[in-house]
Amino acid sequence: MPRRTAILAATGTLTVGAALTPSIPAAAATPDAKPKAATSNTAATPKAQVLGTPTAKAASLPTVGPWQATGSYLVSSIFQNQGLATVRALGGSHLWYTGNVVAPDAQLKGWNHVGDPDFSHGYVVEPYQSGAATPTSKMFRVYDTAHGFRSSDFVHKLVPGEAMNNSFAAVSRDGQWLVSGEWETENRLLITPMPRVNKSAADPSKDLPLTGRVVLDKPVRNVQGCVFTTATRLVCSSDDANGIVGGVVRPLLQIDLANEPDGRDVAGKVTALGRIPLVSACQADAQHSFETEGLDYDSATGVLRVEVVQPGLCIPLTTVWEFKSRTLGS
């Protein structure tokens, strides 16, 4: 999994920095089943990141289960390819991206990988991984949007059997619980208190405890991002090239919970909704296949956004697909 960092860009606009103006047309390409090699990390901080130009025509827009694509656009695979979250702050709605570049101060603290973020109750949360040879912890960086995006780092010590990966952060609808994920094949997601919002996780100097799991009825593989679309439903993006859920390669997954998260174990029913669109003018190769990345759900507009890194020579570009549900309550 590539390394990542955060950026803020105005939703649906080209108002920040120099615009990305890719001219590569959208065209179907056959996905390569081999995983893409991890990208190397740099310490640079991005100065300008913006949304790209539309790449999909209405007549050719795909559907994935109940989700109908409404369009797509291209962004930078350096700064914007690993995840995104709708942030309501500064008097408007914005997209907060994470990318291959990790913030220098996080690197100095030993964190070399940041996953798919989420936003809830005035806080942006990003999941980080350790770069240590033998990791013993993972970290969640929380930005307070009401106080100048001041950040605090909450460290979680790994429990026996827990993988070091920290692929995504998904905040429950009530803001109290944080669901995160590991890597490769897993039969669970992890539950901790949501830092700052949950009173039991107000102090960043204390360990952020693992309190429960989403116990899945079937295993999932390489989940890159999850987001709550209802109080008891997660939609997740998977970079599974093997199709272990229903034979679907790189699927959009739906996980229905037995009840709203309360910090304890909760059962989760997994459904593969269909394959995430893999569209590019470039052909995949052994080193550079398509890679499904993070996703976001804007509850105010009902828009689901899913990222896919393009393959081959097009790897500098990431496609952001936008969907709306065709069924109520999805």
| Residue 28 belongs to a domain | no
Model pLDDT, residue 50: 37
Q: Which two tokens stand for residue 257?
A: 């919970």
Q: Give yes or no for residue 164 having a pLDDT over 50.
A: yes
Do 238 and 222 touch, CB atoms closer than 8 A? yes
Model pLDDT, residue 60: 79
Do 264 and 239 touch, CB atoms closer than 8 A? no
| Residue 38 belongs to a domain | no
Secondary structure of residue 137 in the 3-state scheme: strand
Secondary structure of residue 130 in the 3-state scheme: strand
Q: What's the rounded mean pLDDT across residues 211-221? A: 98
Model pLDDT, residue 57: 53
**What amino acid occupies position 130?**
S
Q: Give residue 287's pLDDT band: very low, low, confident or very high (50, 70, 90).
A: confident
| Nearest residue to 191 (alpha-carbon basis) of 182, 202, 203 | 182
| Residue 109 belongs to a domain | yes
**pLDDT tens sequence across 49-97:** 333 445 555 457 999 999 999 999 999 999 999 999 999 999 999 999 9
Share of the chain above pLDDT 70, in %: 81
Domain that holds residue 313: 6-20+50-325
| Residue 25 belongs to a domain | no
- C-alpha to C-alpha distance for 198 and 12, rounded to whole angstroms: 32
Model pLDDT, residue 103: 87
Q: Which helix (H) or strand (E) holds 108?
A: helix 104-108
Q: Give residue 286's pLDDT band: very low, low, confident or very high (50, 70, 90).
A: confident
Model pLDDT, residue 150: 97
Residue with tokens 């090699």: 37
pTM of the model: 0.84
- C-alpha to C-alpha distance for 77 and 100, rounded to whole angstroms: 7
- C-alpha to C-alpha distance for 142 and 195, rounded to whole angstroms: 7
| Residue 90 belongs to a domain | yes
The domain that holds 231 is classified in CATH as: 2.115.10
Secondary structure of residue 200 in the 3-state scheme: helix
Q: What's the rounded mean pLDDT across residues 1-17? A: 37
- How many domains, the chain? 1
**What amino acid occupies position 227?**
V
- C-alpha to C-alpha distance for 126 and 116, rounded to whole angstroms: 7
Q: Give yes or no for residue 250 having a pLDDT over 90.
A: yes
Q: Could you give phi then psi for residue 145, rounded to 5 degrees?
A: -70, -20
| Residue 37 belongs to a domain | no
Q: Give yes or no for residue 36 having a pLDDT over 80.
A: no
Q: Which helix (H) or strand (E) holds 106?
A: helix 104-108
**pLDDT tens sequence across 192-207:** 999 999 999 999 999 9
For residue 226, what are the contacts with CB-CB under 8 A and spacing of at least 6?
Answer: 116, 168, 170, 179, 181, 189, 234, 235, 236, 237, 255, 295
Long-range contacts of 131-134 (CB under 8 A, 24+ apart): 131/107
Beta bridge partners of 69: 323
Do 74 and 22 touch, CB atoms closer than 8 A? yes
- C-alpha to C-alpha distance for 215 and 77, rounded to whole angstroms: 33
Model pLDDT, residue 69: 98
Beta bridge partners of 316: none
| Residue 102 belongs to a domain | yes
**pLDDT tens sequence across 305-326:** 999 999 999 999 999 999 999 8
DSSP 8-state code for residue 211: -
| Residue 133 belongs to a domain | yes
